[in-house]
Amino acid sequence: MTFARLDHISDLDTLQRMPAWVTSARAETLEDVAFLSGAALNHLHVVLGRAEVPQALLRDRLALSAAAACVAFSGRPEREAELRDAVHLLRPGDLPGPTGETCLAWRRAVERPVSIKALGRALPAFEPGQIATWLDAGKGAPVTRAAMVLEAVLREAPRAEVAALILAEAALPQTFGWDHLLPLLAAGLKRADLRKHGDDLRLACHRALVLSAVDAVRLSVDLARRAAHLKAVAPKLRAKGAGDAVKMFLTRDAVAPSALPLPDRAARRLCDRLVDLGAVRELTGRDTFRLYGV
């Protein structure tokens, strides 16, 4: 079983290589860039179809990248490390603050299959009817639809950049046949792109997706390898509740020991053991208030 799993990961490593012409071609026209983004997205679609890829973990990590991009768009200095802290070190009754809210919105958007109800949970400031109307603004091919949704939201709510990007991302699974939202646009767009319209915005979206698809393929393969190693060492863990803890690591970008289904001291020992086995990493570099992830 172990050798077969490693063979599958080796195959996935080979599949990781995006065709060189996708990333090296100098495309200027909308038609040419659309062709490249279609090729990149098709390659990503094939990789995502592999069972070895930990889908929930991938979505959660891409959600963090999307949230960091949105925070940067707003002019705030926080990056991914600060966003992790804002979400995972919250105590009962604490408010997450603006950056934490952005991160939570993206995490909620990717947690459940795409639906108006799920998007309303991620964007509670907007009525379900308004969300549905904005999504219906998108017509045509996948990226064109996403750009139209993005433009429609920002036309009516110019400051609602997080909502606009989440709903634009939600327009992609509708046409790709994906169950869940996979954040790709936000991390690839520039702040100035959000003020573009029509063909200029579609061109920016296509370019963003070429870059993001390449990164998502690379991340998918890396997480598949890491997840396989975590599953391989899981039988060595003797702590009661270790199996449930492993499942959490396989679905979340970061985990605080206090969130694990073990007593506090046992949770910290388990995290240290997993680090020693090379199955998870400590993400903060701190001696206290640590976070761990695959």
The per-residue pLDDT for range 122-168, each reduced to its tens digit, is: 999 999 999 999 999 999 889 999 999 999 999 999 999 999 999 99
Is residue 208 located within the same domain as residue 243? no
- Of 225, 249, 280, the residue that ends a domain is 225
- Residues 92 and 266: their CA atoms lie apart, in Å, by 22
Question: What is the structure's pLDDT at 1?
Answer: 37
Q: Which of 197, 171, 173, 201 is nearest to 189 (CA)?
A: 201
- Residues 82 and 79: their CA atoms lie apart, in Å, by 6
- Asked if residue 15 is part of any domain, the answer here is yes
Question: What is the structure's pLDDT at 14?
Answer: 67
Write out the residue range of the structural domain in which residue 125 sits: 2-225
- Asked if residue 233 is part of any domain, the answer here is no
Is residue 10's pLDDT more than 70? no
Q: In sequence order, which residues have a C-beta less than 8 Å from that of residue 238 and are 6 or more positions away? A: none
Is residue 168 located within the same domain as residue 265? no
DSSP sequence for 265-294: HHHHHHHHHHHHTTSSEE-S--SSS--EE-
**Mean pLDDT, rounded, of the chain:** 92
pLDDT one-digit tens code per residue, 231-286? 999 999 988 899 999 999 999 999 999 999 999 999 999 999 999 999 999 999 99
Question: What is the structure's pLDDT at 175?
Answer: 73
Query: Tokens 């492993």 — which residue?
Result: 246
- Residues 170 and 178: their CA atoms lie apart, in Å, by 10
pTM summary value: 0.93
Confidence of residue 18 (pLDDT cuts 50, 70, 90): confident
Is residue 254 located within the same domain as residue 165? no
Residues 230 and 250: beta-carbon distance below 8 Å: yes
Is residue 174 located within the same domain as residue 289? no
DSSP sequence for 61-77: HHHHHHHHHHHHHTT--
What Å distances lie between residue 110 and 62, 66, 166, 170, 213, CA to CA?
Answer: 9, 11, 9, 9, 17
Is residue 125 located within the same domain as residue 11? yes
